[in-house]
Amino acid sequence: PQTLSICRVSAKFCSCVWRSAVVADVFFGFRSRVRDYPVVYQRAEVSVVDVFVDGLMLPNVFRQVRSNLSQRRVFSTRTAVKMKHHLMIGTWTPPGAIFTVAFDDEKLTLELVKRTEVPEDQPISWMAFDHARKNIYGAGMKKWGSYTVKSPTDITHHSSIPMGGHPRANDLDTKTRAIFILAAKKAPYCVYGNPFYDHAGFLNVHSVNPEGGLDKNIQNAPLDERSAIHGMVFDSEEEYLYSADMWANKIWCHKKDQKTGELELVGSLEAPSPGDHPRWVEISPSNAYLYVLMEAGNRLCVYVIDEKTHMPVYTRTSYPLIPPGMDKFFPKMYRSDVVFTTQSGEYLFATARSNSPKLTGYIAAFKLGKEGQIERQICLNPTPTSGGHSNAVSPCPWTDEWLALCDDEQGWVEIYRWHDEFLGRVAHLDIKEPGFGMNAIWYD
């Protein structure tokens, strides 16, 4: 009766009141969905008003509006709509493979849907998508690899490029290894890679072909002779690149040439403590704060970015990534791992690993303010295992609700739900292959 009475009002009145979420509730019965899809809501408004003016039947109204909503659900950053998400995961040791798993966020299940072979000497210890999710770039032992992605189950090896820089980096008798890869999201879409361990004092820059496959090594930006950079991050405009140098105990800043993608040194600064060993960096969406994860220091240090120099400045504020005192009870048994913000920019997650199966790793969550300042540390929870080489957390790119966590001590991937600032495990999948459980990347 309420609906029919509203149908009798004039078109002018209807076009006015329809903008009210209360009226939307009368028709839809799901206020949250109207709020979740503001763009679609405008389209639904026009459709419904037109239907009333034309005097069409109410069932057609529901079909039209729901059709409009369903067309845009995949782009929602919330979780009103249930679906399957595919993730890809690599391995630390050969023989290499890319594992595609599917997470059903309604049934809360994980399943393996495809094992894609890669060159045996190129297990992917870190992987990343290009800007369009049509290519995967991998750090594979002595080479950088690219893989064409046509679907979650159709992935093919495209090309591999040796590490650049030191002439001995690619020798089989050296420990030098491709450790991390970062794909630009803006043209010219270059791909940046970090050699690690010995002979690692360069940042490798690669061009791509029109389809996004790796093309050639165009620059090897020199660092210190003792450098070994692990994690890197661009600011939101991709003008400045920040890098965590574990072995030189430094943080680097480079400026990217917007036309060529090549790097120019801005500067570097020492970590706060000689024993910190910066491993990972993350930046706030506002570009105001840089979060530097210290592998040996097992802490998260907060920096502000100087607006004029673009160099990070330490705020003398840090947060523990393992419970206080654990490093004294178990000296040299913990290594902090990665740090990432959620897609909303409201939360930050960081992990730490242990060096023994008898000790767990940890995952920490932080609440961020509007500019990216850390307002508080929410939790510091044990992870199921030591984490092995991994314990890498991967927040979902489209919602804050889901996070993936990988482990290569036992070989598994898990999905956690982040809700009301509580973290709960909802799905687990064992994959008993050598070295399985590096970082997970979300495909859809």
- 395 upstream amide cis, omega within 30 of 0: no
Residue whose entry in the numeric block shows the structure tokens 């120099």: 309
Question: Catalytic: which of 157, 158, 177, 353?
Answer: 353
Q: How far apart are CA 204 and CA 178, in angstroms?
A: 10
Helix segments in 90-159, DSSP class H? none
Question: Catalytic: which of 45, 282, 295, 409?
Answer: 295
Between the CA atoms of 161, 162, 163 and 167, what dihedral angle is there, to the nearest 10 degrees?
-140
Q: Is 320 helix (H, G, I), strand (E, B) or coil?
A: strand
Question: Catalytic: which of 85, 177, 206, 230?
Answer: 230
Active site residue 295: yes
Q: Which amino acid, 390?
A: S
For residue 375, what are its two tokens?
A: 């307002």
Query: Can you list the positions of beta strands (E) in 130-249?
Result: 135-140, 143-151, 154-162, 177-183, 191-196, 202-208, 214-222, 229-234, 240-245
Question: Catalytic: which of 85, 254, 279, 299?
Answer: 279
Active site residue 279: yes
Q: How far apart are CA 305 and CA 311, in angstroms?
A: 6
Active site residue 353: yes
Taking the alpha carbons at both ends of the chain, their separation in whole angstroms is 41
Query: Can you list the positions of beta strands (E) in 152-190?
Result: 154-162, 177-183
Q: Which stretch of DSSP H or E encloses residue 423?
A: strand 422-430
Catalytic positions, written as ranges: 230, 279, 295, 353
